[in-house]
Amino acid sequence: MIEISSEIIKSIKKVIGPFQENENINLHEPDLIDTNANSYLKNCVDTNWVSSAGEWVKEFEKYLSAYTGAKYVIAVSNGTVALRLALHGMGVKAEEEVLIPPLSFVATANAVSHLGATPHFIDIESETLGMCPQALERRLKEIAIKKGKFLFNKLTDKRISAVMPVHVYGLPAKMIEIKKICLEWGIPLVEDAAEALGSWIVDNDNSFKHCGCFGDVGTISFNGNKIITTGGGGALLTNNEQIATHCRHISTTAKIKHPWDFYHDQIGWNDRMPNLNAALGVAQMEILETIVEKKRRLYKCYKKNFQDIEIAEIIGESKNSKSNYWLVTLRLKGNLDDNLKSNILQQAHDLKILLRPSWRLLSELPMYSNSPFGDLSESFNQSKRLINLPSSPKLIK
């Protein structure tokens, strides 16, 4: 087992190259050296436009709209806020259920809980690590019942108000199949594309469509470890003008526009992205294609260096999709020794190579242990096998 762990670490070191003895090789860090970030941030300071009103916010939203193809983009303060706003925009309310996969960052479930709703866990599939369309269909047939124009869980008597798949590690989920199921059952579709800026899927018309644009609404995150960062930030994507208008209004404290009067027509949130953060985002949107190209080259390097290791594989994009490879992910194969993954992680961390296991399944966390769920066997099978590898674009020179 120690030999296998050492072989895996050796293959990782071949990809990341030489590094200083006391240097951490982080999982994913931004590289702002060859950007206009300093100039754009200076402009914010020089003009005193540092808060949520400012031209850089508008410019960032325009960049995201042009790149993703979403007609409407709303930049907000973080990815969790974007998810909560998206769910709210789709009418999710307290005492309802949202169907999500258990393999995701906790924000996916927390955004549901922030509205007083309940996460309902649907199993994943092995190819993309995203929500399994067949598992979704099976679970709906087990529990769903139509009452008027809404769908309810007959076991809990709660409305099923949305399905929210996740593009895990930037690997596009099977959105064509999931969208078809949502349309057949009449369930709103929200996409958690937090990790998927620069990831695409071939649509039914044989053209590439950006992740986050298949559902009624989608979201992206710009946290410090994402493919581009605004320090902290997120965005809501939609092609629905009514949803966009409502979400923009509610995210700006529900204030009615007026030269001097402060009139708010409903309870709102103060969710908007500051101008400083948006300026940082614009600087990286200008080089996003270069970043994605570096990430895809890094994936190919890992793939090549692991091709002769029988016990491990590097997970690639599925057919008819294009991944940004936000986090390149290793999957251990076969019958696993209980200590193998821990040994790999420990050896790597001893060398300051900061590998990471997959997240704990959301269904295993104490606040979600009583949430409803279907058969999650593949989620458990995959989560014990996954290790995220150093994926910073600067690792490719």
Q: Which residues are catalytic?
A: 226
Q: How far is CA 268 from the centre of its chain?
A: 25
Element (H, E) at 161: strand 158-163
Q: How far is CA 141 from the centre of its chain?
A: 28
| Number of neighbouring beta carbons within 10 Å of residue 43 | 16
HSE of 311 in the Cβ direction (CA atoms, 13 Å)?
16
Per-residue CA distances from 133 to 136, 137, 139, 260 (Å): 5, 6, 10, 51
User: Taking a C-beta distance cutoff of 8 angstroms, is the pair 163, 200 a contact?
Assistant: no
Distance in angstroms (rounded) separating the CA atoms of residues 258 and 252: 13
Q: How far is CA 384 from the centre of its chain?
A: 20
Which residue type occupies 222? F
User: Taking a C-beta distance cutoff of 8 angstroms, is the pair 200, 173 a contact?
Assistant: no
Strands 97-100 and 158-163: parallel
